[in-house]
A and B are shown apart, each in its own frame.
Chain A
Amino acid sequence: MVEQLPAIVVLAPMFASLVVILVGLRWRSWCYPLTLAGLAATLAAAVGLVGRVYREGVIDYFMGGWETPLGIGIQLRVDALNALVLVTIATVALIVGVYSFRREVDVKAPAKTAPFYTLFLLLVTGLCGITVTADAFNLFVLLEVTSLTSYGLIAMGSSKRGKLAAFNYVIMGTIGASFILLGTGYLYIRTGTLNMVGIREVIVAQDLYGSTTIVVAFILMMVGVFIKMAFFPLYGWLPNAYSYCPSTSSCILAPLMTKVSIYIMIRMMLGIFGAEYVFQEHATTIVVWLAVMAIVAGSLLALAQVELKKMLCYLIVAEVGYMVGGAWLANHWGMVGALYHIVSDAIMTLCLFLGASILWSRLKARRIDDLSGAFRKMPWTMAGFVVGGLAMIGVPPTCGFFSKWFLIRGGMESGRWEYVVALLVSSLVNAVLFFRIFEIAYFGKKPAEGHDDSHGEESVERVGAPWTSTVALWVAAVLVVLVGVFNGEIAAFFARGLEGMAIVGSAGGGN
């Protein structure tokens, strides 16, 4: 059983999806518990994998026992880089699963419940698959599994604009995936294998660093993954797609899709091409500057938004800049920061999107202005939302603070001051953004002109939320703090995965 964990983590949600569509079409009420069971199994497998990686190091798993020399085996690989990403995916999925009880789709279009949960589980399958696979072509296939399900999840809602957004997403997503496929083809031409480990070995053994084919492959794959993660300036599809979809969909897509794409990028950089190849002076300079622009543009565009979810979406664009920039600092702490931020950003984005979704569904608050007086109406929901907001600003001891700590440290050590400044500016903009929201929710849209005795005494109806939603939000909020408090352990775990990589400033110095 323990040997099969890498397969189980992918297969558990897949089988659950099959069962859900078979059973759920007939008995709708079974969808929810079955989904939760499947996701819980995934989480258990992911946690088990972390334990194994902690004890044994890298785990290589060959589907059906077909080992690589034959060239057709499907290899899965779990190591310190992706074990925690798996746990993050499974955790977020489970929390959103809990939240999904009687949400938009279930209420407005009961017939779609079973297909919805099936897509949901398939999405998780794809995300886990992307994370564990060690095969470049399977990466493409699983990426498309993820994308196809997410197109469905986005288009499923009742929003008209959601459909148009989904269509644009289809086009952009396909372009991105196709670039990755093309890049894989070029790698295959030159190295004759599709296995990531194999490609890396051939590149090193034959000293292919100067090869034009490899350069083309590298650029194609990077552009592809940049589109997938909505990196500046290729972010146009994201805000509409994530803000006009059903709330459950946005809660699962927003935290995970971009973050898993970041993971793919890091895996490609380190696992296929190798740090010594990737981190060349001009390449890092270009990407870090793009990241700086992503951070600044994302933050400024977020400032301009009047709708809550759209604002959060632009913040995702900025956060993607954080992680890409961190990874491309060519510095140990930058890379650790990027990896740590994958976990922490997933959790805090989840917290914010859950909060925004609950506020939207209970108070009909889509615009920030609609939140007037939300602290009185829904104190618990707002409190959870505040935790997420503080994490976004980077207030200790939430996880957002420590992401910034690592990333800024990496930026300083590698002398990329423009990146450091961008991070700080974005923190300040986040502070403005969230306190604008808190202010409206706290003071109301039109606060009293003067201070007299009668103020604030008008009774306000408390608006309740289903307990499943509140529990989900609060679990996320607690995780935001826990991920922050245990940042040392998490960072140390990621650092194990970076051992032996040619990255400047290893864990040894100035710990």
Chain B
Amino acid sequence: MPVEVIYSWVPVWACLASLLAVVPIVWFGKRGMVNAREGATLVAGVVKFALVLSMLPLVRGGKVVECTLVEIAPGLALAFRVDGLGMLFALVASSLWIVTSVYAAGYMRGLKEHAQTRFAAFFAVSLSATLGVAFSANLLTMYVFYEMLSLATFPLVTHHQDKEARTGGRTYLSYLLGTSIGFALPAMIFTYVKSGGNLDFSVMGVLAGHVGHGEALVLLLLFVFGFAKAGLMPFHSWLPGAMVAPTPVSALLHAVAVVKVGVFCVIRVVTGIFGIDFLKEMDLGIVVSWIAAFTVVVSSLIALSQDSLKRRLAFSTVGQLGYIVLGVSFLTPYGVTGSMLHIAMHAFGKITLFYCAGAIFVACGKKYVSELSGLGRSMPFTMGAFTIGALSVIGFPPTGGFLSKLYLLLGAAQTGHFSLVVVYVISTVLNAAYFFPIFYIAFFGKDSGAPRKLQEAPPACVVPLCLTAVGSVLLFFFPDVLLGLAESMLPPGEQP
């Protein structure tokens, strides 16, 4: 069944919307018109989301939207292509940006941070890069935006410009640039050479029949580790390091945009460059499975021992990213669908958790799990949302996380490797183990002597986190759109 292709500039505009917003942001920022600056961000966010949304019916109708910008290397173009997976990711990222921009305004003002204009500007650039990755039609375009995202987020991660930020920033860039230049770039060029100059994503892959077993294995490993944003061990330590960033950055970038770009790239490479059938034929999925399984279990164990709330969340993210990679490495319909779904479900759950961590910090300056005792009584909304987010990440109904985990579990069962099913079960138990104590002591723990009155963060912080928490629940009841998008990516005739 040939896919109907529609040529349109909408994906380009969707991508550019936030990049263009940099101009008014800086213009207003320089003149001290803070509200106008925040307004510009918000307008850009809404426009962006609307543009993405406008393409949704087309993509749901089984069509793809394409646009070629310029020929950037012989036979290669900077090209956009919107399909189910890209749409899914773009929807998540652009909708959460709107929420985050509200939250960020509240957070940054609440803490009287410096250089807010720079922050807002680079935030917008990062979002452009994220959508660029989501809509890339080929590996080169994806790589271009991947690098752009690494660089654009550097000033955000190191926002505080103190010693800690410098250390974190160093780790951040050295891992991300080091792996992308050292692994992904040569892998990409090798693919280009081997495939006869073709880097376009397609269901059948471009490598089938061009490389042998050994070469395919090396390429796969180079790609999987090369996109270190996916946080597979041993290239995960940038993520905890990047927690020096202000919380909105951690929330959007390190629960949604950056890390999901990493797993998105891995999914793209596995499904679009290698092709699921080719990998099955080579029996290579299992290699990635074990790397991912190792990451899932070990990071969950590390998360248990973290006292800093944000670091605990960071290691939890590493583990959840491992889930996604693990799912796609099953090469089964349920596994791949589950991975794609989990991108969205985890995004909503984890962003809620980060918002809560930030709100707690704004409201009472607490950063450590051990300090949270009794906080549920003074910050009921925040801690309530935290509970929902945590349940979603653990995979507890009625939250979105339950659905994606169900798919992943079924996918594991489809492979016939019983041990992989066990990995999911163990890790779910571990997830529960590192989250339950938090809201247990928050609600039932002893009072730390703090006054019992309501002491929430500013509404600009609390409203967004409630919204995303509600979103997590809603996704459980109305997953059709996302599910449809994810399933549209499977080879014909393989719907679960």
Q: Is the CB of B170 within 8 A of A408?
A: no
Residues of A at the B interface (CB closer than 8 Å) are: 390, 393-397, 402, 404-405, 408-409, 412-413, 420, 424, 427-428, 431-432, 435, 439, 442-444, 447-451, 453, 455-457, 485, 487-488, 491-492, 507, 509-511
Distance, CA A413 to CA B190, complexed state (A): 9
Q: Is the CB of A485 within 8 A of B70?
A: yes
Q: Is the CB of A448 within 8 A of B177?
A: no
- Shortest C-beta distance, B66 to chain A (Å), equals 20
Taking CB atoms, residues of chain B closer than 8 Å to A507 are 74
Taking CB atoms, residues of chain B closer than 8 Å to A444 are 161
Taking CB atoms, residues of chain B closer than 8 Å to A448 are 161-163
Taking CB atoms, residues of chain B closer than 8 Å to A393 are 177, 181
Taking CB atoms, residues of chain A closer than 8 Å to B78 are 397
Distance, CA A507 to CA B72, complexed state (A): 16
Q: With A402-B73, A457-B114, A485-B72 in contact, is A409–B151 under 8 Å at CB?
A: no
- Shortest C-beta distance, B168 to chain A (Å), equals 11
- Shortest C-beta distance, A279 to chain B (Å), equals 20
Distance, CA A444 to CA B161, complexed state (A): 9
Q: Which of A432, A439, A491, A511 contacts B197 (CB 8 A)?
A: A511
Q: Is the CB of A428 within 8 A of B178?
A: yes
Main secondary structure of the interface of A (DSSP, over half): helix
Q: Which of A393, A431, A487 has the most CB of B within 10 A?
A: A431
Q: Which of B143, B163, B190 contacts A449 (CB 8 A)?
A: B163
Q: With A412-B190, A435-B173 in contact, is A396–B158 under 8 Å at CB?
A: no
Q: Is the CB of B115 within 8 A of A456?
A: yes
Taking CB atoms, residues of chain A closer than 8 Å to B73 are 402, 405, 487-488
Q: Is the CB of A443 within 8 A of B173?
A: no
Distance, CA A402 to CA B450, complexed state (A): 60
- Shortest C-beta distance, A372 to chain B (Å), equals 12
Taking CB atoms, residues of chain A closer than 8 Å to B177 are 393, 428, 431, 435
Taking CB atoms, residues of chain B closer than 8 Å to A451 are 160, 162, 164-165
Q: Does B494 contact A (CB under 8 A)?
A: no
Q: With A424-B181, A456-B161 in contact, is A447–B72 under 8 Å at CB?
A: no
> In chain B, residues 129-188, which have Cβ atoms closer than 8 Å to a Cβ of chain A?
140, 143-144, 147, 151, 155, 158, 160-166, 169-170, 173-174, 177-178, 181-182, 185-186
Q: Is the CB of B158 within 8 A of A442?
A: yes
Distance, CA A395 to CA B181, complexed state (A): 9
Q: Does B57 contact A (CB under 8 A)?
A: no
Q: Does B193 contact A (CB under 8 A)?
A: yes
Q: Which of B112, B144, B174, B181 has the most CB of A within 10 A?
A: B181
Distance, CA A353 to CA B178, complexed state (A): 25
Q: Which of B112, B143, B162, B165 contacts A453 (CB 8 A)?
A: B112
Q: For chain B, which range describes its interface: under 10, 10 to 19, 20 to 34, or 35 or more residues?
A: 35 or more
Taking CB atoms, residues of chain B closer than 8 Å to A396 are 72, 140, 143-144, 147
Q: Which of A395, A432, A507 has the most CB of B within 10 A?
A: A395
Q: Is the CB of B178 within 8 A of A443?
A: no
Q: Is the CB of B182 within 8 A of A405?
A: no
Besides A424-B186, A443-B166, A455-B161, 8 new A-B residue pairs in contact (Cβ under 8 A), listed by A number: A442-B161, A444-B161, A449-B162, A485-B72, A487-B73, A488-B74, A509-B196, A511-B74
Distance, CA A405 to CA B193, complexed state (A): 11
Taking CB atoms, residues of chain A closer than 8 Å to B166 are 439, 443, 447
Q: Is the CB of A491 within 8 A of B162?
A: no
Distance, CA A492 to CA B74, complexed state (A): 8
Q: Does B422 contact A (CB under 8 A)?
A: no
Smallest CB gap from B145: residue in A: A396
Q: Is the CB of B193 within 8 A of A431?
A: no
Q: Does B75 contact A (CB under 8 A)?
A: yes
Taking CB atoms, residues of chain A closer than 8 Å to B72 are 396-397, 485, 487-488
Taking CB atoms, residues of chain A closer than 8 Å to B112 are 453
Distance, CA A507 to CA B197, complexed state (A): 11
Smallest CB gap from A492: residue in B: B74
Q: Is the CB of A397 within 8 A of B144?
A: yes
Q: Which of B73, B112, B160, B196 has the most CB of A within 10 A?
A: B73
Smallest CB gap from A444: residue in B: B161
Q: Is the CB of A510 within 8 A of B162?
A: no
Distance, CA A450 to CA B162, complexed state (A): 6
Taking CB atoms, residues of chain A closer than 8 Å to B115 are 456
Smallest CB gap from A430: residue in B: B181
Q: Is the CB of B189 within 8 A of A447?
A: no
Taking CB atoms, residues of chain B closer than 8 Å to A439 are 166, 169-170
Taking CB atoms, residues of chain A closer than 8 Å to B151 are 390, 395
Q: Does B71 contact A (CB under 8 A)?
A: yes
Q: Does B28 contact A (CB under 8 A)?
A: no
Q: Which of B158, B162, B192 has the most CB of A within 10 A?
A: B162
Binary A-proximity of B183-208 (CB < 8 A = 1, otherwise 0): 00110011011001100000000000
Taking CB atoms, residues of chain B closer than 8 Å to A424 are 181-182, 185-186
Taking CB atoms, residues of chain B closer than 8 Å to A450 are 162-164
Distance, CA A405 to CA B73, complexed state (A): 9
- Chain A to chain B contacts (Cβ below 8 Å), 12 pairs: A390-B151, A393-B181, A397-B144, A404-B185, A412-B190, A424-B181, A427-B182, A442-B161, A447-B166, A448-B161, A449-B163, A455-B114
Distance, CA A395 to CA B151, complexed state (A): 9
Q: Which of A412, A451, A507 has the most CB of B within 10 A?
A: A451
Smallest CB gap from B178: residue in A: A428
Q: Is the CB of A432 within 8 A of B181?
A: no
Taking CB atoms, residues of chain A closer than 8 Å to B114 are 455-457
Q: Which of A405, A427, A443, A455 contacts B181 (CB 8 A)?
A: A427
Smallest CB gap from B76: residue in A: A488
Distance, CA A413 to CA B143, complexed state (A): 21
- Shortest C-beta distance, A228 to chain B (Å), equals 31
Distance, CA A70 to CA B177, complexed state (A): 59
Taking CB atoms, residues of chain A closer than 8 Å to B197 are 510-511
